[in-house]
Structures are given as structure tokens and as C-alpha cells.
Amino acid sequence: MNKRKLGNSKLELSAIGLGCMGMSFSYPPFPERKVMIGLIRLAAERGVTFFDTAEAYGPYSNEELVGEALEPFRDRVAIATKFGFKFDPDTGAQIGVDSRPLHIKQAAEGSLRRLKVDAIDLFYQHRVDPDVPIEEVAGAVRELIVEGKVKHFGLSEAAVQTIRRAHAVQPVAALQSEYSLWWRAPEAEVLPTLEELGIGFVPFSPLGRGFLTGKIDETTTFEESDFRNILPRFAADNRKANRAVVDLLARIAAGKGATSAQIALAWLLAQKPWIVPIPGTTKLERLDENIGAAAVELTPEDLREMDSAASKLTVQGARYPEHMEHMTGR
């Protein structure tokens, strides 16, 4: 698979990464652990060198899964994980954010142990903590880098001014935020800022939490604990209205001998050479499909057609419920 560098960092990664969250968190039913270990190892054998997890996914169990799966491949892959939430000690439920420097260092020690590594390749602040100046967060990660426990610093869902302030203390290697054909907000301010500062971009949910694959419509039902049940964009009437985006992808895909998912990923790759999407899956056929997107070439004419058609579409429904919106773009 082609390689890409995250901005000015020395992180050279496969053009398509693998988001591992859904293997044990947010999107049930979850396959057997040994099956997911096998899938992660098959991804590495197929040329994927970038794997994404977080202490919050479980909590902790997803890091343990990724750490065990990638132990035989440690010298040829990069693992990204995240800090910044606090959890109820009894239930494991998230009970807010916590990016105090001491907590960051404790989180790092836990992630190192669970991932079975000597250093974390990319350590993101999972969500901005309004009670801790970002300069203190960046300073704490800088100390971990000096100690050799972390290689690169990242932010997730951070606003432009937060990115600039953090980058002035410790260079930010990558920003991870949602970006796809049905969530293009980063194009206004975030992408130009990242380009200016030499920071890479890692889009999560590059397939719209599965919607852009064309496999979900207004009749689809999700398991009770599936995260999508609380997302306004996934209300049945909004799914019906938003099929126009999927239809656009399907039309382009038909002319390329590709799938809608591959076109959605190829579109992201075509936006900037320092973008590395991390689609998640629990199925081997979807893994191969996503990897195949790296070989799909969209011409300038294809991209103009897609942008023109997409500009006439209004995606219906907020991406998060109101009580969660305050945690993004700070």
C-alpha cells in the first residue's frame, strides 16, 4: 500500500489505517476477541501500518486487544491511542474529562502496559479539557516525549486556536476529527490551519459510521446499545433524506468499478496528501474493500463532479445530540 506522512512529522504510515474502536466498543454485536486479533493481524499482513485505539474504548479492553494482536508486528506498525477521560472506578463509565498533567502521565503508563510497547507512537488528547490550559497538556506530553515514552503528540476534535496554542509548546503531529462527504466542517478553518502548521489529519468515521457504504437505510435497526441510536443524523427520517449522499457515491462508483465505500475513502485521500483515514470494521471482506480504496484514482473531473453534486445536498440531522456537542471543537 502507498505510504503517507502526517504533516511534517516523521510518521510515515499506510494510506489507509484501521480504526479498532468498533471491535469492542460502541457498535455491537462484538465478535469474539480471538477473531478480532486475527483480523488486526491480517490487516498488518496486508500492509496496514497504522492502528487506532484509546483507553476510553472499553475502557481499556480495546487497548489490550490491539496490544496483543500487534505484538508480533511491533517493529513495522504505528499505534495511536488517546488520553483525557476519567472513568467511574466501579462501572467503568466515562464521567467527564481530565487532562491534568498527572492524569496524563498515569494514562500513558496504563496505555504502555496494555499495548505492550516501550513508547506510544501517537498520543492524542481525546477531547479538550476546558479546565486545563492546553499549554499544560502539551507540556506534559512533551515531558513524556523527552522520557522516551511517547513519540508524537496529537489532538482530537480541537478548534483552531487550541491547535495553535498546543503546537507552540509541543509540535502537534496530527489532528483526529470527523471528516467525510457528509461532515465537511473541517474544510472551513481546520484544514488550512493544519496545512500552514505542517500537521497531519486523521479523519475518523470516514464512512459516516457506516452510512456511506450504502448498507444502511431508514429501515435498518441497530442493537439497543449501539451508539448510533442516540445520534440525530441516524434518526430514520434523516437516514431517508441523507440517502442522496449515498446515491452520489454509488453513481461515481459504478463508473470506476469500485464500491461506494471505496469512493468515499478515495475522495478523502484526494483532498490532501497528508490525510490518513482510519475506517473501522469487524469483517475481513470490508477490510479488504477499505484497503482497496487506496488504489482507486479519482480524476480532477471526478472530484469536481462530486463537489458540485455534494454542494447541492443538505445533510439532515446533527452529528451529535445536544448534550455532547460541547465536547467538540473547543
Distance CA 327, CA 207 (A): 22
CA pair distance 45, 239, nearest whole angstrom: 36
Catalytically annotated residue among 57, 60, 124, 179:
57
Strand bridging mode 78-83 / 50-52: parallel
DSSP string covering 209-226, please?
GGGGGT---TT----TT-
Strand extents, DSSP E, the chain: 3-5, 12-14, 18-19, 50-52, 78-83, 85-87, 94-97, 122-125, 153-156, 172-178, 200-204
Q: How far apart are CA 230 and CA 226, in angstroms?
A: 8
Q: Rounded to whole angstroms, what are the CA distances from 236 to 157, 223, 226, 325?
A: 26, 14, 15, 21
456511506: which residue's cell? 212
**DSSP reduced 3-state for 202:** strand
DSSP string, 96-161: EE---HHHHHHHHHHHHHHHT-SSBSEEEESS--TTS-HHHHHHHHHHHHHTTSBS-EEEES--HH
**Is 60 an active-site residue?**
no
Query: What is the distance between the alpha carbons of residues 316 and 240, in angstroms, rounded to a whole number?
Result: 9
Q: Please name the amino acid found at residue 283.
A: K
Residues labelled as active-site residues: 57
